[in-house]
Structure 1
Amino acid sequence: MDPDTLIRRWYVHRIRLDSQGTTRQVQIGTEAFARPTEWFGLSECAMTQRGLSTPAVTHRGVPHRTAVVPAQSP
């Protein structure tokens, strides 16, 4: 993720699949500006009115955007 996007959005979510034997476990990562990506199992995440939320967003001080960031003109 480029730093400008993280500055504008404050954080992004990432998805990965971890193999465990013959199954795959979905992991949701939250990457915030100047912070490493933190990974969580689906059972630790929730869908809210603002969208997908992870413990990094709800408990670790990653701020929510309360308004949609306008697109930049070229």
Structure 2
Amino acid sequence: MAVVATKNPTGLKLKLSAGKDPETDKMIVKSRTYGNVKPSASNDDMYEVGELIFGLMDSMKLSLLEISRIDNTTLSA
């Protein structure tokens, strides 16, 4: 039995630091996820778009920690 892999739209996730919690002194991490990215988009292009999106954000004292690609594939028989 052959398994068929169908690529679904990819996601782009930005992980952001919003400073430290004054009570616990732990880092406050926020994230923003953007969906419906073409699965064929290159990693370089997605990284560049992530940086551009962060540049357009009202910084609100946020710093960019990570840009992630979220691939989603459906497997069927």
Question: Does the pair score TM above 0.5?
Answer: no
Structure whose alpha-carbon radius of gyration is higher: 2
Q: TM-score, normalised by structure 2?
A: 0.32
Q: TM-score, normalised by structure 1?
A: 0.33
Q: Which has the higher contact order (CA 8 A, sep 6+)?
A: 2
Q: Which has the higher strand share?
A: 2
